[in-house]
Amino acid sequence: MVEIDDQKMFYTIGEIAKMFNVNTSLIRFWEKEFEIISPKKNPNGNRKFTKKDIYNFKIIYHLVKEKKFTLEGAKEKLKSDKKEFVKKIELRNKLLKVKGRIEALIEN
């Protein structure tokens, strides 16, 4: 589960890669492939990702890594019904949190 620090405004590419347990090269690749990823860059060219970027990475990660969509399939899904799909992901994440809490209660 990706944890976001409410105190931070920007994240480095290394932090994003660590959150999703992927290489930084994949983050760069997805940035080029998906227009919904648009980090700001400092004068040195270092990427500064926002919480919105992380949220979009969650969607892409879910489609590509968990649902096994092709890149083209993921792009089409995002174009065709992103709002409906995002609602489903949010509901799924809430249910997973509830499941985790229930499992923790059962263990105790």
Mean per-residue pLDDT, 52-74: 92
Ordered by start, the domain boundaries in the chain are 13-107
pLDDT computed for residue 3 by the predictor = 65
d(CA 91, CA 93): 5
CA separation (Å) from 15 to 58, 89, 92, 95? 14, 22, 24, 26
80 — pLDDT class (breaks 50, 70, 90): confident
pTM of the model: 0.74
For the stretch 2-50, pLDDT in tens is 667 667 889 999 999 999 999 999 999 999 999 989 899 999 999 999 9
Tokens of 77: 């899904």
pLDDT at residue 2, rounded to an integer: 64
Question: What class does CATH assign to 13-107?
Answer: mainly alpha
